[in-house]
Amino acid sequence: MSTSKSRILWTILVLIAICLLSFPAPAQYGGGTGEPNDPYLIYTAEQMNEIGLHQEHWDNHFKLMADIDLSAYEGDEFNIIGNPPLWFCGIFDGARHRISNFTYHSVDRNNVGLFGWVWDQHGSGIIKDLGLIDVSIDAGSGSSVGALVGSLWGGTVTGCYVYGGTIYGNDAVGGLVGGFSEIPPPQSLIQQTPNGQISQCFTYCGVNGNMYVGGLIGSSLHEISNCYSNSNVFGTTWSGGLVGENLGYVNNCYAAGHIQGDVLVGGIVGIGYPSDVTNSFWDVDVSNWQVSAGGISKTTAEMQTLETYLSAGWNFVDESENSTGNIWKLCEGLDYPHLTWEKYGGGMGTTTDPYRICTAEQFKAVGEDPNDWDKSFRLMTDIDLAGLGQNVEVIGNEEVPFTGTFDGDQKAISDFTYNSITGDYIGLFGHVKGVEAKIKNLGLVSPEIFVGMGYYVGAVVGYLDHGSLEGCYVQGGKVSGDYETGGLVGHNFGNVSDCHSSCELYGNYNVGGLIGVNRYAVTNSSSVGYVKGYNVAGGLVGHNKTPQEINSCYSTGAVSAYTIAGGLVGKASPYLDLESQSRL
């Protein structure tokens, strides 16, 4: 080959190499490099499962970017992260996201959990701010079995929880963490004792095993602080509401689940040194267990009393002076303590475990987070919004309606105030939509709502679309709007039953003491407030536009309008069916 041809070929090869090198390497997972300031990003179930295939990444940093569902992985299909002989010694930040339906079933595997082995190598081995929902783990005769971590040697678990599901194993079985591995890391690598830290975590699940079984952790060498378990524990020997075998320390923790076992079973700890358990309690009524290797038994009433915990030095949001940090919150007399990082007053936002609303600030937070407008809520006590000023954020709007449920539980919200020149879909709830959407058993006392221009203004709901309003009332106050204004609902296209309003109503078009414009059934409801409108006003309904029944309803308030007014209904088109017991 001539020299010139060789040079040309060499130049071409160099250019090809430069072009190849200029393309970025294929991204791992959803992005990132695994470095502390650029963690691997996890968006999908597939990316989460991929971590278990890359042992070379088990000392890197990860961040969960979305809630994910692992239900596609059955049996032992999920790749557990951290397996003998290699530990997970990286950092996994759940960023307050949830992983649902983690399943792992085997006959006799040890170290079973989303993370199998976790080890602290120079300040790593950290799992934080992660929730697991509806787990299903059965390790058969396996040891060290937990929903989140099977074996924890050193390391840190903080701000994590397990809610729903069951965990089965033989020994060292826990709701969150199984235990500590009997096979330590290589001695040449160990720089610390195996004592890890578990803090600000909780569990609500079923935990089942033979020995060393605990609601939070089965067998512990760790420092456990500010944690709780509401898990039901079933273990033959050495079982506890929080910890089965305690070889570490427990401080500022409680257990409030049912416990069942035969030998060395305890309300908080099954076996261990009582002096290693400080300022911690268990519910003797719920657990049905009178003894524990540490901790203090309390009745359910005492477990729901603030003084129980303040006298033990716990830090609550109500205790600002001399507090080293606000870790706990309590809706006193109605629930157990919850961690401050839990949403609202606790709960998971489901129909069976709704978010608890205990304070005005928590209610205000609902209106500030549209991501929760498809969730379920329960009002735990009467609350007053007066201290929050005007224009508390309305829950639900035209773009993002409220599609969840809100159970007032026969409680009331006082002094809701909204003042604006313009605005549509205005009320305590602005736009409620969907056949599953429901607001029930809620009182609204002394609301003051003024909207100069706009559609759909009501004290409780601005626009009800295919949802339901049951057992609600408005007592006193004033509601003023422009179009379609009601003492309870501005525009109704859902079911309204067993509701009542006594507020004053002012508006221009289609004004009703209970409902401004009605397009669906109304039963067993009434209005006694004064109603004043310019065009179309009614004591109960301003403008009725439905063939559905207005059944067993009445109005006694005075009604006035410039044109078209009625004691019960101002205007009916195209249909009106008034049953017996309705009265003007």
User: If 0-12 CB within 10 Å is exposed, 13-18 middle and 19+ buried, where does residue 108 land?
Assistant: exposed
Percent of the chain with pLDDT over 90: 82
Query: Is pLDDT of 142 > 70?
Result: yes
Q: What backbone torsions phi and psi does residue 260 show, to the nearest 5 degrees?
A: -140, 130
Measure the CA–CA gap between 207 and 394, rounded to whole angstroms.
41
Say which range, 39-48, 72-81, 415-424, has the weakest mean pLDDT. 415-424
Give 325 or 278, the one with higher predicted confidence. 278
Q: If you average pLDDT over every residue of the chain, what do you get?
A: 90
The pTM of this model reads 0.88
Tokens of 320: 């600002």
Tokens of 324: 């080293």
**Mind listing the pLDDT tens digit for each residue in 10-32?**
433 333 333 333 333 345 899 99
Mean pLDDT value of segment 521-546: 95
Mean pLDDT value of segment 461-470: 96
Q: Is-contact 538 513, C-beta < 8 A? A: yes
List C-alpha distances in Å: 297 to 120, 281, 289, 327: 34, 6, 9, 22
- DSSP H or E stretch at residue 405: strand 405-414
Q: What's the CATH class of domain 40-303?
A: mainly beta
Tokens of 469: 């309003």
Q: Where are the domains of the chain?
A: 40-303, 357-578
Please give the pLDDT value at position 190.
47
Please give the pLDDT value at position 323.
47
**Mind listing the pLDDT tens digit for each residue in 108-132?**
999 999 999 998 876 789 999 999 9
**Mind listing the pLDDT tens digit for each residue in 338-387?**
999 999 999 999 999 999 999 999 999 999 999 999 999 999 999 999 98
**CATH topology classification for 357-578:** Pectate Lyase C-like (2.160.20)
Q: What backbone torsions phi and psi does residue 84 show, to the nearest 5 degrees?
A: -55, 135
Please give the pLDDT value at position 22.
34
Measure the CA–CA gap between 87 and 108, rounded to whole angstroms.
20
Measure the CA–CA gap between 243 and 272, rounded to whole angstroms.
9
Please give the pLDDT value at position 576.
44
**Mind listing the pLDDT tens digit for each residue in 476-495?**
999 999 999 999 999 999 99
Please give the pLDDT value at position 390.
67
Tokens of 326: 């606000």
**Mind listing the pLDDT tens digit for each residue in 286-304?**
998 999 999 999 999 999 9
Please give the pLDDT value at position 583.
31
Query: Is pLDDT of 250 > 70?
Result: yes
Mean pLDDT value of segment 268-278: 96
For residue 573, name the pLDDT band (cuts at 50, 70, 90): confident
Measure the CA–CA gap between 411 and 409, rounded to whole angstroms.
5
Please give the pLDDT value at position 523.
96
Q: Is the peptide bond before 370 cis (omega within 30 degrees of 0)?
A: no
